[in-house]
């Protein structure tokens, strides 16, 4: 898991999670552990309104981006597959 100000280059599979609630993060972690139990996965976590440069770098390095569009935590998750996948 990578958070601001840290940044690394992902090996293979990578995700950026934007503004997810704790429950959503836990559900994501369980799903990832089931789908990719032996893979080395990079997860960039962003839950703030500052550090846009860091967020842009994380998204460019990610295979997938998941975000809570309105911050409600109510199944309003947008999924984006980036061109880096």
* Confidence band of 52 (pLDDT split at 50, 70, 90): very high
Q: Phi/psi at 11 (nearest 5 deg)?
A: -80, -50
For residues 85 and 83, give the distance between their C-alpha atoms in angstroms, rounded to a whole number: 6
Which pLDDT does position 80 carry in this prediction?
A: 65
For residues 18 and 56, give the distance between their C-alpha atoms in angstroms, rounded to a whole number: 11
Tell me the pTM: 0.82
Residues 6+ apart with CB under 8 A from 81: 63, 64
And the tokens for 20?
A: 């997810």
């Amino acid at each position: 898991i990578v958070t601001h100000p840290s940044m690394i280059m992902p090996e293979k599979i990578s995700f950026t999670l934007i503004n997810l609630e704790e429950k959503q993060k836990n559900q994501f972690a369980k799903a990832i552990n089931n789908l990719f139990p032996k893979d080395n996965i990079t997860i960039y976590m962003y839950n703030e309104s500052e550090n846009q440069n860091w967020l842009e770098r994380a998204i460019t390095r990610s295979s997938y981006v998941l975000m809570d569009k309105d911050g409600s935590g109510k199944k309003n998750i947008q999924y984006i597959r980036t061109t880096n996948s």
